[in-house]
Structure 1
Amino acid sequence: MDTWTLERDQAVGLSGFLEKWLWYCALPAELRSLVLESALERTAAPGEYIARAGEPCTHWYGLMHGFLQMYVVGADGAETTLHCMREGVWGGEGSLLKKELRQYDLRSLTPSHICLIPVSTFETLRQSSIEFNHFLCNNMNERMGVFVGMLAASRLLRPGMRVARALLMLASNRGNTRMS
């Protein structure tokens, strides 16, 4: 990401990013204020960890700009990517909903700008907003479709086709449940 892009993203800030989402716009004023007051912004350099496997889950992540990698490391040290989050994607809700330690590492692949919603705010939204819950269901359903597709591809496609499929997933608008 060039300096101008990062500065532009930071100028838009949390309120500009959040206002792009139907679930946020549908919240009553007091809940919008809670989200805006409790949310944090973070920038991360390539390779920087956002969350680590085995740690408590403390935030829900909205990627304002960049790419994040969700991955696990095997006992032999081999890594496997579970999912790559791209700009305009939210993640981390599964671990928050299950109230478990994080099962994967999350690191930045590019310079990234991230919105972090604390677990307490996430829970308040989940308990208070039908629109927020619809968004979570749609988000998890889209991600489940990606995982099923990855599983099928790993068993049925040759390596070159798996790489091509992964690149198409990064470029597609699937999983981007903004104001559409």
Structure 2
Amino acid sequence: MTTSNSDPELRFQHTMWASMLAPEHMQKVRDEVTERFVPAGAFVCRKGDPVDHWMGVIDGFLKMSSISPEGKTVTFSCMLAGGWFGEGSLLKTEPRRYDVVALRDTRVAFMPRTTFNYLLDHSIPFNRFLLHQLNARLGLFISLVEYDRMLDPDTRVARCLAAMFHPYLNPASSMQLQISQEEIGYISSVSRQRANQALQLLEKKQLLRVDYGGITILNLDGLRSFPQETER
């Protein structure tokens, strides 16, 4: 993981909360947030690490996961450009409870704990944003329990793809998503081959289109309610 020196303004171009801050608060953020480059396959942070920063994706793709005592990898979430994470651990002042790995070359913004706490103390819009984000993340994690325990692989792929389109968790996502079938397998906890089968089915149902190097979402509500939506 190396330090990068790109234009500070570009660090926040996809970040929802940045536009909500007062000018003097945003200037403090610009001055104190740093950036690091994380190559594909490298750890951004590991389970058990001390939590000293709030982190955001400038560009790239991260996976948040943990390994169970039985050796099973459980994927909690993925983060694209504009997504920020780690607020729960900062608020509770506890060690990191998950691993975050770069699935492709990624630039990550690091906001120090002191800056994060300053915004909590001085910015009502920032507090409102965090409430909405924490609520969205809670809903996502509850749904992941259902995905893992109750849903078949096709439905799991559909719902995990749909979860990537959330204004608070992944605000920069467009309907054209540059993602490989291997990456879809990672976030859905299925093999690449099984992810390919699921994508073929979802394409047949006209919920998405498989493109070269990615997918285009055609019916986001249909993905969220699959398979019920296709049975009507």
Q: What is the TM-score with the length of structure 2 in the denominator?
A: 0.65
Query: Residue 108 and residue 22 in structure 1: after superposition, are their counterparts in 2 closer, same or farther (change >3 A)?
Result: closer
What number of residue pairs does the alignment pair up?
Answer: 167
State, as a whole percentage, how many aligned pairs show the same letter. Answer: 35
1:67 to partner: Cα distance: 1.1
The corresponding residue for 1:150 is: 144
Output the CA distance in 1 between the equivalents of 2:19 and 2:86: 21
Amino acid at match of 1:66: G
Output the CA distance in 2 between the equivalents of 1:176 and 1:80: 20
Asked if 1 retains the 8 angstrom alpha-carbon contact of 2:15 and 2:82, the reply is no
Output the CA distance in 2 between the equivalents of 1:73 and 1:109: 17
93-102 or 22-31, which deviates more? 22-31
Task: Say whether residues 1:77 and 2:35 are aligned partners.
Answer: no
Decide which of 93, 99, 102 is 2:96's aligned counterpart.
102
Asked if 2 retains the 8 angstrom alpha-carbon contact of 1:19 and 1:25, the reply is no
1:54 counterpart SS class: coil
- Listed as ranges, the gaps of 5+ residues in structure 1 are 1-9
1:20 to partner: Cα distance: 5.0
Task: Say whether residues 1:125 and 2:119 are aligned partners.
Answer: yes
- C-alpha RMSD of matched pairs (Å): 2.0
* Aligned positions of 1:1-180 closer than 5 A: 13-18=7-12, 20-21=14-15, 23-170=17-164, 172-174=165-167, 175-176=169-170
1:14 to partner: Cα distance: 2.7
Asked if 1 retains the 8 angstrom alpha-carbon contact of 2:89 and 2:96, the reply is yes
Output the CA distance in 1 between the equivalents of 2:159 and 2:19: 34
1:19 to partner: Cα distance: 5.4
Asked if 2 retains the 8 angstrom alpha-carbon contact of 1:64 and 1:88, the reply is yes
153-162 or 86-95, which deviates more? 153-162
Amino acid at match of 2:134: M
* Larger Rg, first or second structure (1 or 2): 2
1:15 to partner: Cα distance: 1.8
Amino acid at match of 2:144: M
- Listed as ranges, the gaps of 5+ residues in structure 2 are 173-232
1:177 to partner: Cα distance: 5.0
